[in-house]
């Protein structure tokens, strides 16, 4: 059975390292071997919006390889990570030799679309406080290294709204926060908040 792990060449990334930037020319795609990658776009006003986080097994940049259009988003490593980088030519040759993988790509695109639809619904119908509680619960508690600006991008809101929501959670003793970190103190109560209307 053909494996994406064998396509292209391996590259290691440090946390914070950019794999490619929004608007970069087409020609490269990647398969995520290990680590977490963030996908973000920059708006016309210069704000960063983080659309999703990619986990091990994700394929990215393949659409740009196939249609020849510039990369539509910036991909940055959120942890140390390893990827297999491949070129447009390598991808085309691979899919020609393994047409079953075309269906695999379509399934992955469908999964992304479903996840984005769910995220848009969540952003549009929930308060910032509930979104924040849910986001922290997804991280399985503990200390999360993230700034207020980055949290605002993750939650599709403003830095001020994030600061206000964090303040409420601190007063309820559900979290503590410092410069660039948020620590979950009461995961159970936070989960109850995330699962019930505010």
Q: Taking the alpha carbons of 91, 93, 97, 102 in that order, is the dihedral positive or negative?
A: positive
In the CATH hierarchy, which top-level class contains the domain 4-114? mainly beta
Q: Which two tokens stand for residue 117?
A: 């639809």
| 129, 161 Cβ separation under 8 angstroms | no
Element (H, E) at 166: helix 159-171
Give the model's pLDDT for residue 187. 82
Q: Consecutive 10-residue runs of the chain (198 residues): their mean pLDDT?
A: 75 93 92 90 64 84 90 90 95 89 82 69 70 79 80 82 91 89 86 69
Give the model's pLDDT for residue 9. 94
Note whether 4-114 and 124-195 share their fold: no
Give the model's pLDDT for residue 179. 85
Which phi and psi (to 5°) does residue 72 adopt? -85, -10
Instruction: Report the side by side order of strands in the sheet with 37-42.
Output: 18-20, 74-77, 37-42, 48-54
Q: Taking the alpha carbons of 103, 108, 109, 115 in that order, is the dihedral positive or negative?
A: positive
- For the beta carbon of residue 6, count every other beta carbon within 10 angstroms: 9
Using only C-alpha atoms, the chain has a radius of gyration, in whole angstroms, of 19
In which region does residue 114 sit, left (phi positive, over 0), alpha (psi from -120 to 50) or beta (all else)?
alpha
Domain ranges for the chain, please list them: 4-114, 124-195
pTM: 0.60
Distance of CA 151 to the CA centre of its chain: 12
Strands (E), the chain: 9-13, 18-20, 28-34, 37-42, 48-54, 59-60, 74-77, 81-87, 143-145, 175-178, 181-184
| pLDDT tens digits along 142-169 | 788 888 888 887 787 888 889 999 999 9
In the CATH hierarchy, which top-level class contains the domain 124-195? mainly alpha
Give the model's pLDDT for residue 1. 36
* Cα 49 to Cα 114: distance, rounded to the nearest angstrom: 18
């Amino acid at each position: 059975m053909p494996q994406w792990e064998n396509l292209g060449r391996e590259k290691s990334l440090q946390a914070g390292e950019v794999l490619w930037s929004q608007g970069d020319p087409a020609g490269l795609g990647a398969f995520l071997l290990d680590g977490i990658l963030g996908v973000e776009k920059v708006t016309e006003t210069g704000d960063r919006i983080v659309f999703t986080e990619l986990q091990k097994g994700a394929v990215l940049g393949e659409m740009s390889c196939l249609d020849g259009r510039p990369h539509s988003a910036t991909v940055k490593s959120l942890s140390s990570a390893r990827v297999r980088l491949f070129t447009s030519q390598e991808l085309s040759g691979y899919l020609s030799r393994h047409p079953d993988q075309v269906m695999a790509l379509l399934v992955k695109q469908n999964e992304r679309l479903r996840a984005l639809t769910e995220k848009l619904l969540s952003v549009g119908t929930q308060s910032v406080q509930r979104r924040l509680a849910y986001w922290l619960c997804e991280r399985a508690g503990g200390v999360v290294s993230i700034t207020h600006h980055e949290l605002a991008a993750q939650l599709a809101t403003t830095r001020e709204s994030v600061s206000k929501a964090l303040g409420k959670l601190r007063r309820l003793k559900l979290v503590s926060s410092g410069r660039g970190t948020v620590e979950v103190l009461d995961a159970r109560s936070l989960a109850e908040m995330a699962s019930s209307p505010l």
